[in-house]
Structure 1
Amino acid sequence: MKDRALTVESIQAGELIEVPQTRVGRRTYRRALARSIAVLLTTVALSGCQSILDQSYEPSVAPSQTPQIVDEVQKNDPRAEMGAREHPRIVASYGGEYKDVKTEQLVARITGALTLVSENPSQSYRITILNSPAINAFALPGGYVYVTRGLLALATDASEVAAVLSHEMAHVTANHGIERQQREEAEVIASRVVTEVLSSELAGKQALARSKLRLAAFSRNQELQADVIGVRMLGEAGYDPYAAARFLDAMGAYSRFNSIDPDSDPGLDFLSSHPTTPQRVDLARRHARQFGMEGKAGDKGRDYFLQGIDGLLYGDSPQEGYVRGQAFMHGNLGIRFEVPDGFRIDNKAEAVMATGPGEVAVRFDLVDDKSGGSLTEYIASGWVTGLMPDTVRAAFVNGMPAATARASADRWDFDVTVVRNGQKIYRFLTAVPKGSTAALQATAVQLRRTFRRLSPSEAANLKPLRIRVVAVNPGETIQTLADRMLGTDRKLELFRLINGLPLGASVSAGEKVKIVSE
């Protein structure tokens, strides 16, 4: 969760809260829960807050002034206008730029080699590493190319990163973004119609925000064309041409790994706009064969790749807080709380979500509050639909002023708890199916009991997780190396994924591998 105030509007649209899952039962439940949260909250705007869906919002994140490949994108290229216009918004929506000299030099080295063999060697590129754990890469007209730190963490060598970048550069040189720009113009018109019909500026902005997620997708033929061009670039640049097929397989495996966990955000992931299929993998391998046999063609660039990502931030950033087991901790905000055993926490940009047995769900967010007014009046001020006024109570939570209440909407019962700490109000919404009173009470009590301020030393000792490159010691195995991993309860599976190790593989003394650690 970002350490900034959130608004009612940012949690209003149920479809933006819901995250599709591969299991129908979980998907149906999350859709119902999303609707229940949306029903619970009204459209009352809170003073001093800014919605993440507000398209008039001008982010403080500015375009990089030090691009890695050229001093600036081509000034005389009219196609670059769209990229220049959207660049600040993209950077802001993905958590800003990720700044690390050696990682930037790694990506620059790869992109430079690919540029020399591209369809248009005179095309300049602005490469941006996005500070997001999502697995994604994409391009805008005019040479704006983006790759997330999450994708770099998943890759096992430079050729796999080159496979993704060459694919995106192919979209640029093939002018695929022009059609997407035309679709965007149509979507803007559609959003204006929504605004006029509903007489709601917010509705129009939400429609536009949702449409932008769809605009990331190129057509099937464009994706296949970019695959073919990308594999050719890989081979001609001297990289392992089979890396494209290999990384498509790796992303598919990672997608399946995440599908078991609740609520990853598909709108930010590569596979949502670049769906992998056996056809794409077979096509990539077939075109790679013109450069030689698999395992004997091209360079993987593993050594300098590992050197470039050693220390790479992994997972949540300090600005979003950290999930450690059953606890959520935020050093900048100076707070922490714990969810009951059996719950799983998902730290989103707009809120912290947790889900547990019996279809119990929790949402945690915050709003700015400089008024210092009564929390019982705040909780009854109209932002909660279905509030039961006779249940509103003043309280204290670990020395902090608080208020609690119950609400009911659709087929859900809610506990609403608000806590003031300084000039912020923290809000817990706990939802259970109607009639599940015991589960509602137990969960809400656990949240209130464990919500507290961090001591200065606790906040100072919070450290983000990072990719660490280590040499295998004599006698170490995949299992013992995986046991050193932090941040996941599925250590062995994640270790195999980030190191590209299939079942049955082994490691040798002196070999370098990646682990997730502090």
Structure 2
Amino acid sequence: MMRTVLVCLACAWLAGCAVNPATGRNDFVMMSERQELDLGARYNQEILKQYPRYDDARLQAYIQRVGERVARNSHRSQLNYVFTLVDSPDINAFALPGGYIYIHRGLLAYLNSEAELAAVLGHEVGHVTARHSVRQQSQSTAWGLLGQAAAIGTGIGAVGDLTGVMGNAFVRGYGRDMELEADGLGAQYLARSGYDPQAMIEVVKVLKNQEDFARAQAAKRGEAVAAGGYHGLFDTHPDNERRLQQVVGPARALVGESQEVGRDTFLQMLDGLVFGDSAASGIRRGRHFYHGELDFTLSYPAGWQLVNRPDVLIGHSADQQAFVAMTLEAADTRLTPAEFLRQRVGNQRLAAGEELRLGALQGYTAVLPGQPARRVAAIYRGERAYLFIGVVKGRASLESQDQHFLEVIRSYRPLKAEERKLAEPVRLRLARAKAGQSLAALAKDSPLPGDGEAQLRLLNGLYPGGEPRPGDWLKTLR
């Protein structure tokens, strides 16, 4: 039996070999191009549910034009590429199979030329042309088949589980080699498109500066640097120092005369770009949260931090041992808030329940027993139900944080007229640098908490200590 299965595996492996259109190598793939395109189209629908498009048709069209210019000079120019600006403050960009490419407005804000935008998009086009996601999928499938073969041959199911874990570890993220390959391909596509491939290096510098800034801020707080950043989900990608060194040589070798940078054109397109939280997701200001479209505010304990996602708002203590999450659902007005809450927890037993009276609003809160116990609540407002759940980690008990959870829940209220401005997002605005003007002086008017001067330097490619030249366009925050 084992011999038969291994023969089948060998046949599948040989059948899956295909010439990579970008590198010319024989790669192991188990997906046709048609299947790749269908997979990308399906995933694209799911991505847009999680990450909505940024609401600026002019800027979306500009990004599509720049992306198409690069893609036309790639190894798979026949694909129908779709470039999307995502309404997210994250510093990220990514690609799906078949030519669906996304850049977050959080990353866009820190770029400083059209060539740098083309470099980011070119890098992602490189992932598509080299079929990195397809190769991942094929490797994952092969590991799964190997696990099944081992389980059949030995009669021990755990062996299959073990190889499945190995497979997941092997294919998570794109990995260092694929990221460097995408950098090299992106540099080629930049040069072929008439852009200065030095921009690829400038983008890597942008990412490195973000890492340095995050490290400096964490050191001030006495914390370790959290994993994250562009392509940093699993921390398997090449550190930016290594990428910087390995991309410099090939990129500079491609530089010719009359290579386009497009700084002024690009910066003009960014004027008015939302920076940080958007009105659609609500605005964090210190320990307070304001949502203009939904007309409410919440307050959190001093020292707590807020994580604002499209589908959930999470507040957590500084030591990350206490969390309270809020989500929004359609209310079932046939039910009282107490009945609605019981239904949402699967009719489990609730303890210490009490009615909530928040001005004219009604709600209900209780403790959901268990290990650990959790604080839950539902607040009705019109046809919407605001659901809260508070939970502790580690050895902390609900009793130690329950008062904080209740304070957050009870802080829910409609916005006052004078608070509506607080629910408006911060935006990038362009200004000409004046002689003798420093970023430290400009930062005094920064609407952001924390190190406003460092943020301005990061935005303008002047981190950690550069100063603008008189007459230069500067990105400011208002």
- Length-normalised TM-score, structure 2: 0.74
SS of the aligned residue for 2:298 comes to strand
Instruction: Write the distance in 2 (CA, Å) between the matches of 1:115 and 1:275.
Output: 23
The CA RMSD over aligned residues, in Å, is 3.8
Of 280, 283, 287 in structure 2, the residue corresponding to residue 319 of structure 1 is 280
Equivalent residue, structure 2, for 1:471: 432
Native 8 Å contact 2:379 2:386 kept in 1: yes
Query: 8 Å contact 1:141–1:172 — kept in the other structure?
Result: yes
- Counterpart selection for 1:428 from 372, 388, 413: 388
**Larger radius of gyration between Structure 1 and Structure 2:** 2
Q: Give the % identical residues.
A: 27
- Deviation of 1:397 (Å): 2.1
What is the rounded CA distance, in whole Å, between the counterparts of 1:351 and 1:414 in structure 2?
Answer: 17
Aligned to 2:385, what secondary structure does the other structure show?
A: strand
Decide which moves more: 392-401 or 269-278: 269-278
Residue 174 of structure 2 corresponds to residue 218 of structure 1: yes
Native 8 Å contact 1:354 1:361 kept in 2: yes
Question: Which residue in the other structure is 2:444 paired with?
Answer: 483
CA deviation after TM superposition for structure 1 residue 179, in Å = 1.9
- Alignment check: 8 A CA contact 1:398 1:451 kept: no
> 2:355 is matched by which residue type in structure 1?
A
Residues 150-196 of structure 1 show CA distances to partners (whole Å, capped at 9, x for unaligned) of 22112122222121111222223333343244357679999xxxxxx
Q: Are 2:253 and 1:290 equivalent residues in the alignment?
A: yes
Give, as a single letter, the amino acid of the residue that structure 2 aligns with 1:281: L
Aligned pairs for 1:264-413 within 5 A: 269-272=230-233, 275-277=237-239, 278-291=241-254, 298-357=259-318, 359-381=321-343, 383=345, 389=351, 391-407=352-368, 409-410=370-371, 412=372
Contact 1:397 1:448 in 2 (8 A): no
What CA distance in whole angstroms lies between the structure 1 residues aligned with 2:454 and 2:117?
21
Using the TM superposition, give the Cα deviation of residue 354 of structure 1 relative to its aligned residue in structure 2, in angstroms: 1.1
Aligned to 2:128: 172
Aligned equivalents of 1:395 and 1:112: distance in 2? 54
The DSSP-based 3-state class of the residue aligned with 1:453 is coil
CA distance in 2, matches of 1:424, 1:356: 27
The reply on whether 1:153 has 2:109 as its aligned counterpart is yes
Q: Secondary structure at the match of 1:272?
A: coil
The answer to whether the 8 A contact 1:392-1:405 is kept is yes
Change (3 A) 1:134 1:189: farther
Q: 1:126, CA displacement in angstroms? A: 2.2
What is the alpha-carbon distance in structure 1 between the residues aligned to residue 446 and residue 175 of structure 2?
A: 39
Uncovered stretches (5+) of structure 2, i.e. residues with no partner = 1-32, 147-166
Q: Alpha-carbon deviation of 1:363?
A: 1.7
Closer/same/farther in 2, CA of residues 336 and 220 from structure 1, 3 Å limit: same
**For 1:145, what is the secondary structure of its paired residue?**
strand
Q: Equivalents in 1 of 2:332, 2:168: separation in Å?
A: 34
How far, CA to CA, are the matches of 1:102 and 1:378 in structure 2? Answer: 43
After superposition, where does 1:2-401 map in structure 2 within 5 Å? Answer: 79-95=36-52, 97-182=53-138, 217-255=173-211, 257=213, 260=218, 269-272=230-233, 275-277=237-239, 278-291=241-254, 298-357=259-318, 359-381=321-343, 383=345, 389=351, 391-401=352-362
Match of 1:417 in 2: 377
**Equivalents in 2 of 1:452, 1:500: separation in Å?**
41
Structure 1 residue 348 displacement after superposition: 1.7
User: 1:457 & 1:504 partners in 2: Cα distance?
Assistant: 38
The one of 456, 465, 469 aligned to 1:508: 469
Measure the CA separation in 2 of the matches of 1:350 and 1:186: 34
